[in-house]
Structure 1
């Protein structure tokens, strides 16, 4: 069933949620803005009900920018794994962002600080629009999302490091609005090393887990460890092993981080890095 009227003076996430809840078949999300992509992932991740599969046709540069945020990308990867999202890139985009269902075409229009969803439900028009974007979908290039699904990250972390480390990781990630490492948030490797230090895990174990699950290479973990150690956020101690060079155990290196609970750890670390 299509939305019964235009969706005016609402937020993008409300528009997306209304359209998805009313849709009976597949949905095409065409030329979404960065905010629209983030809001879709948030809505779809939070909704336990069976939502339709969304075929997202987006500008490649916009997708890359949005998916640089580990929080968004890892949740999007979960949706892809569940068959609820597919990503392809579009070259010739319409002027507005569109949500296209079997029953309606909704144009998302921005006017100053207001957002509206303008609904067209004429059967002939909707049918022609669906046919158009189904064809463009078939011709579009898939977008390769390299970020691992957040469910896999958490499950393997619990199994390979410890349930306590997984709890810390989830809490730290949940305290952040973004995980980019660009000044607005810590990146996923820094977060991993912080909760590893909180749990006094071995650098070898956390970097092997991170590489195996697809977060980053062992070399990236090593470089980031050196940076954090040089800045005093973490410390290391050598742990002898039967054969080969000693391994390094990670430890929190600053009292401010040691005294912070997991909900505050990211904020304190960010302030120190800045």
Structure 2
């Protein structure tokens, strides 16, 4: 590893540490941006990743993981034993990356970021032992979001391959999936995909509840909101026993004419 990593972006610093480290890494007190960037870098990393033990502020973790795109990719990393999340009671002054052969302090100076590196073995050993002990005493962070790989696989199986392709394309067109005006949330995206493929509300909501995206009740409430706003339409489909089920359809011509890359943008503009 370079003696210091100056005038780098946070993703460059993270990639350097991941490339140069073979043992476990403690990522201590990462910022919101550093958590997002770590998930992006680790998801696209070409090679074998070390296991990263992330010790982070609980509020920061919750806020970052409200974004389905970040959280579902983080869940994949957790499932692959590449990432583990625990919360900090007392945070150090700086953000740290602690490996068995180096400690990197992440320092922000205005819009610049630097990684100040020490490989003094005595200091590194002491830091590593300190944060290994703090890790053992820390509380696990419960990430309820399902892994994106499982979401895509089950969506393809339960609703159809075209629906999975539409879902993936919409996510790739978004920077965030929070449902806060900056991005659509995962339930809205799922319902739009179902409507584009004319799937049943029962099927998409059952899939969403089974995979861990949201409850059937949440899907139903969101469907009603989108229907009231004219984004979705429904038609009754009779079944042999019981009440008819609802087939979802796109309800706005602007959405019908949009391709997957535009669907999210058009939906957001209507919702806003």
Secondary structure of the residue aligned to 1:80 is helix
CA distance in 2, matches of 1:247, 1:59: 45
Measure the CA separation in 1 of the matches of 2:67 and 2:22.
Answer: 31
Instruction: Trace 1:48-197 onto structure 2 (pairs within 5 A).
Output: 48-197=46-195
Q: Secondary structure at the match of 2:86?
A: strand
Kindly indicate whether residue 246 of structure 2 is the aligned counterpart of residue 251 of structure 1.
Answer: no
Describe the superposition over 1:154-184 as per-residue Cα deviations: whole angstroms up to 9, x where unpaired: 0000001100000000000110000000111
3-state SS, counterpart of residue 17 of structure 2: helix
- Give runs of ≥4 in structure 1 deviating > 4 Å: none
Q: 60-69 vs 45-54, which deviates more?
A: 45-54
Post-superposition CA distance 1:123-176 (Å, at most 9, x none): 000000000000000000000000000000000000011000000000001100
Q: How far does the alpha carbon of each residue in 1:24-71 deviate from its partner, in whole angstroms, 9 at most, with x for none?
A: 200000000000000000000001311100000000000000000000
TM-score (norm 1): 0.99
SS of 1:106 mapped into structure 2:
strand
What is the aligned partner in structure 2 of residue 226 from structure 1? 224
C-alpha distance after superposition, 1:210-230 (max 9, x if no partner):
000000000000000000000
Q: Do structure 1's residue 21 and structure 2's residue 12 form an aligned pair?
A: no
Task: Output the CA distance in 1 between the equivalents of 2:2 and 2:244.
Answer: 67
Aligned-partner Cα distance in 2 for 1:48–1:234: 40
Give the Cα–Cα distance (whole angstroms) in 1 for the partners of residues 127 and 74 of structure 2: 26
Structure 2 Cα separation of the partners of residues 113 and 174 of structure 1 = 27
Unaligned runs of 5+ in 1: none
TM-score by length of structure 2 reads: 0.99
Instruction: Figure out how many residues of one structure are paired with residues of the other and give that number.
Output: 272
Q: CA RMSD in A?
A: 0.5
Alignment correspondent of 2:210 = 212
